[in-house]
């Protein structure tokens, strides 16, 4: 088994001919947020499992070794492509509790209280992750379910040494753990976590054993159901037993579109990722990106302008398609996008207040984790799953050992009020019982001339979509290796606020001055996201791209 844990490399060296590549493997590969989880997935495939078997094992391993975002109490999306080219997408996004109301986060004066939707039990949506893994395995898995959970159970019981980054995050969350829980049965509580300390989670092991034995019923019924509801209601949350028992994942049609020789399969609503990727790449197809150079002011100006248009549409139109009529066909039509294209000034920044969502004639009718897997037969899966914020709502189920999400913040708690990622939403994403909140998660599989080419996704809240976009373009338009593309500094614009965010490695001083002269407002921010991707090379080998921004690791053989 080969593995790769990338170090930060100054990608500006690429301009001077110094190149680097991620792990290359012949047979199969897993790229995930933690080496422990990637290793588990590879071992499953070495023992005869397929990509879905490996994905189930990786997901539950991440729930143990990556508690900041790996989860039992969250949700997500999966894009699966068989070796024959059939593509399936599964929505296991969380839902709003049956007792939730449209204005539940407004105070007595009718003003939004964003903190209510971000921390504590009132922020918790109905978890979908366990149901999602069961549904995936029942349809496409080949290995014994119990064997796939065994590695996660062992790591929860025996413990594992935490990394320096994990220790830092654990130290930072201590006050919140005490504030938002009514019990102290939390293994993450401790003074002075350090790299190499062992984290043991016996309650989580017990919950995993229940899921191992009873599958879906081990989480959504019985003792775990009682523990979960008791913990949430004691802390002021709304979940009921019926919320858990009635939860169902949904198989949906992928968002499918072409960009030159490439065909994309990405997640549809309630994920906004596929729609926005399609819109942005349609606009960019009208410009000679390769001739502009990597992260030049001309290239980044166009990137910013197409992002501005797409995120404006996101705010107005997108929501759960089971609850609102979303004009997806129109949003992706050439006629609509050509009209929007006329709003792009190729020289100067367009103020966001001058850009509204496009006019459509309606017709009736930031903590996440991603992993990419390709198996020896050529099956591929991209899964993005989340608790939303780091450690979600900060509420841990007493006796269960796992955190619950704070996904209710991804609704529009009040039209025009931004969520924790600065995203503004409207009526289409208003709260309603049983409704799925809009997401930015963008698990994506890409073909080139009919063959599997790339499996990609990222965490990062609202910045997920632009991170995936840039990783793809870094390879295809600018000729970077996958590892270079993943490590390369990123920029992001989301319409509102009207700011072009950039990582410190994304821009040099000259480019900053040129973008400012074009009318852009720039703001440097800390590194974000963690793109984990796999590319199939022309000779059939697999190249891994594991983001240096986290503890991410590529493994294969």
Helix axes 297-317, 509-517, angle to 10 degrees: 60
Does the pLDDT at position 19 exceed 50? yes
**Can you tell me the distance from the alpha carbon of 338 to that of 319, in angstroms, rounded to the nearest whole number?**
23
pLDDT at 419: 52
pLDDT in tens, 39-85: 999 999 999 999 999 999 999 999 999 999 999 999 999 999 999 99
Phi, psi angle pair for 444, to nearest 5°: -145, 140
Per-residue confidence (pLDDT) for residue 418, from 0 to 100: 57
pLDDT tens, position by position, 132-183: 999 999 999 999 999 999 999 999 999 999 999 999 999 999 999 999 998 9
Which of 35, 30, 81, 22 shows the shortest CA–CA distance to 56? 30
Q: Are 72 and 402 in contact (CB under 8 A)?
A: yes
**What pLDDT digit, counting tens, does each position of 251-308 carry?**
999 999 999 999 999 999 999 999 999 999 999 999 999 999 999 999 999 999 999 9
Residue listed under structure tokens 């054993």? 209
Domain ranges of the chain: 272-365+453-546
Q: Report, at the CATH architecture level, how domain 272-365+453-546 is classified.
A: Orthogonal Bundle (1.10)
Give the mean model confidence (pLDDT) for residues 343-368: 68
The answer to whether the beta carbons of residues 531 and 471 sit under 8 Å apart is yes
Query: Catalytic residue positions?
Result: 368
The predicted structure's pLDDT at residue 250:
98
Please give the pLDDT value at position 49: 98
Residue 446: predicted pLDDT: 98
Nearest to 445 by CA among 17, 87, 39, 189: 87
pLDDT over 60 at 355, yes or no: yes
Q: What is the mean pLDDT of the chain?
A: 92
Of the pLDDT bands very low, low, confident and very high (cuts 50, 70, 90), residue 425 is low
488 vs 547: CA distance, rounded Å:
9
Structure confidence at residue 6 (pLDDT): 60
449-468: per-residue pLDDT in tens? 999 999 999 998 889 999 99
Contact 551/391 with Cβ under 8 angstroms? no
Three-state secondary-structure class, residue 55: helix
Looking at residue 315, what is its pLDDT?
Answer: 84
Q: Angle 99-100-105 (CA atoms, 0-180°, nearest 5)?
A: 140
Ranges 10-14, 489-493, 542-546: which has the least confidence: 10-14
Is residue 11 scored above 60 in pLDDT?
no
What's the confidence (pLDDT) of residue 358? 56
User: What DSSP string runs through 351-377?
Assistant: PGGG--PPP--------EEEEEEE-TT
- % residues pLDDT > 90 (the chain): 82
**Would you say residue 16 has pLDDT above 50?**
no
352 pLDDT above the threshold of 90? no
- Average pLDDT of 485-498? 92
Q: What are the pLDDT digits (tens) for 201-235?
A: 999 999 999 999 999 999 999 999 999 999 999 99
Res 416: pLDDT: 57
On the question of pLDDT at 380 being above 50, the answer is yes
Residues 73-130 pLDDT 10s = 999 999 999 999 999 999 999 999 999 998 899 888 888 887 888 899 999 999 999 9
| pLDDT at residue 417, as a whole number | 56
Q: Model-level pTM?
A: 0.93
């Amino acid at each position: 088994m080969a593995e790769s844990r990338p170090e930060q490399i100054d990608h500006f060296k690429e301009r001077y001919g110094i190149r680097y590549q991620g792990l290359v493997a012949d047979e199969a590969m897993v790229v995930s947020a933690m080496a422990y989880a990637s290793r588990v997935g590879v071992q499953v495939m070495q023992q005869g499992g397929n990509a879905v078997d490996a994905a189930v094992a990786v997901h539950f391993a991440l729930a143990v070794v990556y508690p900041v975002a790996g989860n039992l109490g969250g949700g997500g999306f999966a894009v699966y492509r068989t070796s024959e080219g059939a593509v399936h997408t599964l929505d296991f996004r969380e839902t709003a509790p049956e007792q939730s109301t449209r204005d539940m986060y407004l105070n007595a004066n009718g003003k939004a209280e964003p903190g209510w939707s971000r921390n504590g039990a009132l922020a918790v949506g109905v978890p979908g992750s366990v149901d999602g893994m069961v549904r995936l395995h029942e349809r496409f898995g080949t290995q014994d379910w119990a064997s796939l959970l065994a590695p996660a159970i062992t790591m929860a019981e025996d413990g594992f040494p935490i990394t320096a980054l994990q220790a830092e995050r654990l130290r930072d969350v201590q006050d919140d753990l005490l504030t938002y829980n009514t019990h102290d049965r939390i293994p993450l509580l401790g003074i002075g976590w350090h790299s190499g300390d062992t984290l043991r989670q016996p309650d989580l092991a017990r919950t995993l054993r229940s899921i191992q034995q009873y599958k879906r019923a081990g989480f959504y019924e019985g003792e775990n159901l009682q523990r979960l509801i008791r913990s949430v209601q004691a802390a002021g949350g709304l979940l009921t037993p019926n919320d858990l028992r009635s939860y169902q994942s949904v198989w949906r049609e992928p968002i499918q579109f072409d960009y030159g020789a490439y065909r994309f399969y990405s997640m549809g609503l309630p994920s906004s990722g596929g729609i926005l990727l399609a819109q942005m790449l349609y606009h960019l197809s009208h410009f000679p990106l390769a001739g502009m150079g990597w992260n030049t002011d001309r290239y980044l100006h166009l990137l910013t302008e197409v992002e501005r248009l797409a995120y404006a549409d996101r705010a107005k139109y997108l929501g759960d398609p089971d609850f609102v009529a979303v004009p997806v066909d129109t949003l992706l039509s050439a006629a609509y996008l050509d009209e929007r294209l006329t709003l792009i000034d190729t020289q100067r920044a367009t103020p966001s207040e001058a850009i509204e969502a496009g006019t459509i004639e309606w017709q009736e009718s930031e903590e996440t984790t991603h992993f990419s897997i390709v198996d020896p037969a050529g099956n591929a899966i991209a899964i993005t799953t989340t608790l939303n914020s780091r450690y979600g709502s900060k509420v841990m189920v007493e006796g269960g050992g796992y955190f619950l999400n704070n996904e209710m913040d991804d609704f529009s708690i009040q039209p025009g009020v931004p969520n924790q990622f600065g995203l503004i939403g409207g009526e289409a994403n208003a709260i309603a019982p049983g409704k799925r909140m809009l997401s930015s998660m963008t698990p994506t599989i890409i073909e080139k001339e009919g063959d599997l080419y790339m499996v990609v996704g990222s965490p990062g809240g609202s910045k997920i979509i632009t991170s995936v976009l840039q990783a793809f373009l870094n390879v295809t338009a600018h000729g970077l290796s996958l590892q270079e593309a993943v490590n390369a500094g990123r920029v992001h614009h989301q319409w509102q606020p009207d700011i072009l965010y950039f990582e410190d490695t994304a821009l040099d001083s000259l480019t900053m001055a040129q973008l400012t002269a074009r009318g852009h407002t720039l703001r440097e921010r800390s590194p974000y996201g963690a793109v984990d991707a796999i590319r199939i090379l022309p000779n059939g080998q697999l190249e891994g791209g594991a983001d240096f921004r986290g503890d991410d690791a590529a493994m294969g053989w």
